[in-house]
A and B are shown apart, each in its own frame.
Chain A
Amino acid sequence: KRFLQMLLPKSGGKQEGSPDTGASRAFSKKTLTWRLVGDAYSSQLSGDEQRYIFRLAFRMWSEVTPLDFREDLTAPGTMVDIKLGFGRGRHLGCPRVFDGSGQEFAHAWHLGEIHFDDDEHFTPLSSDTGISLLKVAVHEIGHVLGLPHTYRVGSIMQPNYIPQEPAFELDWSDRKAIQRLYGSCEGSFDIVFDWIRKERNQYGEVRVRFNTYFFRNSWYWLYENRNNRTRYGDPLQILTGWRGIPMQRIDAFVHVWSWGKDERYFFKGNQYWRYDSENDQAHTEDEQGRSYPKLISEGFPGIPSPLDTAFYERRQQLIYFFKESLVYAFDVNRNQVLPSYPKKMSQVFPAIMPQNHPFRNLDSAYYSYTHNAIFFFKGNSFWKVVSDKDKQQNSRLPLNGLFPKQSISEKWFDVCDVHTSTLNM
């Protein structure tokens, strides 16, 4: 069945790969299964350790591609997409014979087979001797996915084994190489926000730093703006990183930050939570002893629920709440909606290019300290809001206008899902 599948034409709409580079996409489906073959475990590491390492190796590719990988221990062998095994000399019915300790340590085959030479000294994650099984596995999985060897320094696809440095990860070029075959990661987000941290340096001076977070379903990523990628090892579960707030599908985040105020709120359904940044968890009650979560209608009178999204405008000290096609401007000092609101989103934030507008049901509104701009997210696209600087450069731009939409994945890179079974790694 796998052989026949291989002969079928691939699904259209995506680049198949370049014959000049030798790269070609091997799979046309999104979730691939794998298995360490039962009679082909290594004699050097425990079975659990081997499977953990392979699970991590697959996850590393999943973190940078729209593919995800699931270990399958039950399906018939012919239905498993990628099979891995260890052997020595003549092994596993393979036509290529391993050469013993040294030189060739593994190889990968069309139809998703990866063989490791068990005469090599494969070592687990914690060891700095021998040959890292993780690194070899990531390399061979790269072949199975369709990448050839390259001699580019820093690439995981170099043919020779290079003892790994402390941080072994897929670099920018490897990511782009695999994304040329399988595309970039797309998808809508529940909330996107910058989280402000106040720290003291060695002189006791308060420094303000920020981190960018993307939330989707029950997981989240920290985005490293200076590196144009997510943090290595993300996504993580909201449950483990953000204590006390809803575990999934959060509607909105707002940081009310002005003189005398530093309040962070998460919204879901008809409720909201206030987050205690000092203790890194949600407040359980307010200063008056009233417990969280609270009703949005009580804390923010005049604001409907559930919400699509919200953001805080610091200069005007207004929270803009969005629901369907309407926007509500909420004065945090008077604790009420401005008299002329709600208004149509398209009226408050007009399109610069006609009809190029989200119109309704935003996913997230995000003020970015990196770009000093507000972005509206919907689906795979974002619209940038005209800033003061934009207006200085072009006075004809409408106040709070929306620039034409662009693709999220072309501005924030590699925000990729992984299989839910690997979220806890």
Chain B
Amino acid sequence: ERLFHSRDRSDLEPSPLSRAKPIADLHAAQNFLLKYGWSKVSSPKESAGVPVGFTLAQAVRRFQKANRLPASGKLDSPTLAAMNKPRCGVPDTRLPLRDALPTPPAQPTPLGLQPRARQ
């Protein structure tokens, strides 16, 4: 069983295997920003000449501003802590038009990124 000691099981401990992997490195942070709409997968043509780090820093800065963190553009401890907080799985934001890129066709559209118009 999952371990607990209180009658109401309020101290129920999750098993190590069922814990979410902490966001502790660059790759995990990039995935987070992509997953929740802070950045987009860009095609080589659209990101030609733009350093990968630049777009990441932009996305991190946007995330930091929204979360009232110093907008350093860097993956510092407070930023990672904010990414690791319990949260809803619906994406947070729409990117400005110039950053908007088509979503990968295989992915269904979650509620935060709805298509603009329907025929």
B10, CB-defined interface residue at 8 Å: yes
B14:A104 contact, CB within 8 angstroms: no
The contact of B86 among A88, A108, A160, by CB within 8 Å, is A160
> In whole Å, how far is A38's beta carbon from the nearest beta carbon of chain B?
23
**Known interface pairs A103-B86, A105-B87. Does A110 touch B109 (Cβ–Cβ under 8 Å)?**
yes
B84:A103 contact, CB within 8 angstroms: yes
The contact of B19 among A102, A108, A136, A161, by CB within 8 Å, is A102
A364, CB-defined interface residue at 8 Å: no
B112, CB-defined interface residue at 8 Å: yes
Chain B contact residue count (CB 8 A cutoff)? 38
* A88 / chain B contacts, CB cutoff of 8 Å: 18
* B67 / chain A contacts, CB cutoff of 8 Å: 151
A241, CB-defined interface residue at 8 Å: no
The CB with the most chain A CB atoms within 10 A, among B14, B84, B116, is that of B14
B107:A101 contact, CB within 8 angstroms: no
**Known interface pairs A108-B111, A109-B110, A149-B92. Does A102 touch B10 (Cβ–Cβ under 8 Å)?**
no
Instruction: Give A159 to B10 CA distance when docked, in angstroms.
Output: 24
The contact of B111 among A44, A127, A130, A148, by CB within 8 Å, is A148
A410, CB-defined interface residue at 8 Å: no
Instruction: Give A100 to B16 CA distance when docked, in angstroms.
Output: 9
Instruction: Give A107 to B90 CA distance when docked, in angstroms.
Output: 6
A101:B90 contact, CB within 8 angstroms: no
A119, CB-defined interface residue at 8 Å: yes
B45, CB-defined interface residue at 8 Å: no
B87:A159 contact, CB within 8 angstroms: yes
A28, CB-defined interface residue at 8 Å: no
B50, CB-defined interface residue at 8 Å: no
B90:A129 contact, CB within 8 angstroms: no
B20, CB-defined interface residue at 8 Å: yes
* A144 / chain B contacts, CB cutoff of 8 Å: 111
B10:A129 contact, CB within 8 angstroms: yes
A131, CB-defined interface residue at 8 Å: yes
B10:A161 contact, CB within 8 angstroms: no
B102, CB-defined interface residue at 8 Å: no
B114:A101 contact, CB within 8 angstroms: no
The CB with the most chain A CB atoms within 10 A, among B18, B82, B90, is that of B90
The contact of B93 among A107, A109, A143, A149, by CB within 8 Å, is A149
A103:B109 contact, CB within 8 angstroms: no
B111:A110 contact, CB within 8 angstroms: yes
* B46 / chain A contacts, CB cutoff of 8 Å: none
> In whole Å, how far is A94's beta carbon from the nearest beta carbon of chain B?
9
B contact residues vs A (CB 8 Å cutoff):
8-12, 14, 17-23, 36, 66-68, 82, 84-94, 107-112, 114, 116, 118
Further contacts, 16 of them, CB under 8 A, given A102-B19, A121-B10:
A22-B93, A24-B114, A99-B21, A104-B89, A105-B87, A107-B88, A108-B111, A119-B14, A119-B19, A119-B20, A121-B12, A140-B88, A149-B112, A159-B36, A160-B87, A160-B88
The 8 tightest CB contacts between A and B, nearest first, are A107-B89, A101-B14, A102-B20, A99-B20, A161-B86, A103-B20, A104-B89, A100-B20
